[in-house]
Amino acid sequence: MNHNTPLSPLPHSHLSDVQRRVLSSAQLRAHGVSTARTTAQCRPGGPWQLLLPGVFLLHPGPPTSEERLHGALLYAGRPVIPAQGKTGTAPGYGEAMVTGLAALALHQFSSAPPLLSLDRIDVLVPRTRRLRSTGCARLVRAHVLPRPEEITGVPVAPVPRAIADAVAQLADANAVRRLLTEAVRGGHCEPAAVVKELNSARLLNRPHVVDAVDSLLAEGRALAEDRLYALVREHGLPDPVWNVDLRLPGGPHLGGVDAYWPEQAVAVELDTRAPRHDEDALWSEYARKREHLERLGITVVHITPRKLREAPEQQATVVRTALMAAVDRDPAAYVVVLPR
């Protein structure tokens, strides 16, 4: 018997090829294969082998990277067995999902090692799951699980969570920096989402992670500024003055803005805050500055890097509407505009 031999009594036409080569003990029993038969098949020189506790590889020889992924998920999760006589969908893995470097490889990160070179596959599971890491499966427990993404039929943690789980295992500062940089440059996610996960994982007390985060935030702001320049240019908005400080004549400093239209008294500010320990203080500073400017009659448009990336046309409409509405407002207070 091998993975090409039909299993009974349940049909397995709904299974992918790899799911026919790697099955759990529960799945084998559902297909009519007894524990004794499974044990016999796994004897030295036999056609099957034990991949992980309760998970069997239905061919001799080393497992492929895809088989290791599937096996780790079967071990960590609770596969769904379709009712007898029903094909249903392919077996699931409960709430388990691939995370860490394996997940980043599936997200096609060039800075992540190839799957076959990884000694272990990180699998994210609920904290109540009572299993131990073993063999090629390393369990990562979470109080709250993110919504997985499906890549080639495999449930995979979103990039920010996968990065946090990968960074938790890395002591190489350059490797951490490469992963964080690719996440932003590759358009996988915004810096704030990564920093939020790193903060939740309590990794921001590691010096090499803090240094990488500082580089990440600088990279993210530069990309957001480039997208803001492109938004003004490509959507036919009038040219503003860029990156300026606003002051009252002979008075206090009002704050810096990323773009300002003096005639319309409209300012755009990129909200590149990242959730760290000082998030509340940062937000209070943002709010105070915005309220002060608006009391002076200056309209402040806040734009996040994510909105600039995902909905630039909508953000251009918001800015254009603010500029057009200026003619119906009372004149703003005169402010001095200085380069920053």
Tell me the per-residue pLDDT of 247-292, one tens digit each, with 9 for 90 and over: 999 878 888 999 999 999 999 999 877 665 555 556 667 778 888 8
Question: Residue range 310-332: average pLDDT?
Answer: 92
Residue 14 has a pLDDT of: 47
| 53 vs 76: CA distance, rounded Å | 10
Max Cα–Cα distance, the chain, nearest Å:
90
| Whether the model pTM is above 0.75 | yes
How far apart CA 270 and CA 301 sit, in angstroms, is 9
Least confident range of 88-97, 147-156, 157-166 = 88-97
CB contact burial 161-182 (16+ within 10 A = b; e otherwise) = bbbbbbbbebeeeebbbbbbbb
**pLDDT over 50 (residue 89):** no
* Mean pLDDT computed over every residue of the chain: 87
How far apart, in whole angstroms, are the C-alpha atoms of residue 89 and residue 15?
8
Q: Which two tokens stand for residue 232?
A: 């003004």
Three-state secondary-structure class, residue 276: coil
DSSP letter string, 5-43: SPPSSS--TTS-HHHHHEEEHHHHHHTT--HHHHHHHTS
3-state secondary structure 75-90: HHCCCCCCCCCCCCCC
pLDDT tens string 178-223: 999 999 889 899 898 999 999 999 999 999 999 999 888 888 889 9
Q: Does residue 161 surpass a pLDDT of 90?
A: yes
Task: Report H helices in the chain.
Answer: 17-21, 25-30, 35-41, 65-76, 100-106, 159-167, 173-185, 191-200, 207-234, 279-295, 305-310, 312-325
pLDDT at 41: 93
pLDDT at 90: 43
